[in-house]
Amino acid sequence: MNRLNNNSLESLEYLKELCEKEIISWPIDFEFYQASKTQLEETLKYWFGNETWSSSGDSFIQFGKDASGSMFLLWFYPKLKTEPPVVFMDSEGDAYLVSSSITEFVKQMASGFLFFSGSWIEPNSKEKKDLNWTLLKKLVNEHFGVKHINPEELTKIAKLNHPSFSDWAESKI
């Protein structure tokens, strides 16, 4: 069963607020989006090409998508003992472990880098001007009490603490 603790719930609400106030907006290719359980199950059935992906007890909560419809999700796997990690399932069939938790993901979003194809890349000069990166960093840093965020380092930590999501997804196709 996918239960969220108070920290995850608060971080989801904070992320939603940042998006609604358009503090998180283009060029960050992320839209806060929560699919119903039925909608998500139908989408995952098409993504995996079958309904057996959930046979081992794994489940998801979708909390975002990008412009192509690729999904940002919280992954609940049977041996999970901590907050659920953030994973990304793209519209081309690739799957990535992104972050150890929704809280860490919000920090990554404020790092000044953009998530693209499983990596965090530096925005180009136009993208740097399209968003008030300074305000986003300031608000997130104050909210979570952090100074410097290295998004790739947070992804590496997630990979040390959680199973390979890419391997798991591949095994279900």
Tens-place pLDDT, residues 4-47: 899 999 999 999 999 999 999 999 999 999 999 999 999 999 99
Burial 114-138 (b: 16+ CB within 10 A, else e): bbeeeebeebeeeeeeebebeebbe
The whole-model pTM stands at 0.94
Cα–Cα distance for residue pair 115/71, rounded to 1 Å: 12
Confidence check: pLDDT of 1 > 60: no
Q: What is the pLDDT of residue 58?
A: 93
Confidence check: pLDDT of 84 > 70: yes
pLDDT digits (tens, 9 = 90+) for 97-111: 999 999 999 999 999
Q: What is the pLDDT of residue 173?
A: 87
The token pair at 166 is: 């890419």
Backbone φ, ψ for residue 62 (5° rounding) = -85, 135
pLDDT digits (tens, 9 = 90+) for 85-140: 999 999 999 999 999 999 999 999 999 999 999 999 999 999 999 999 999 999 99
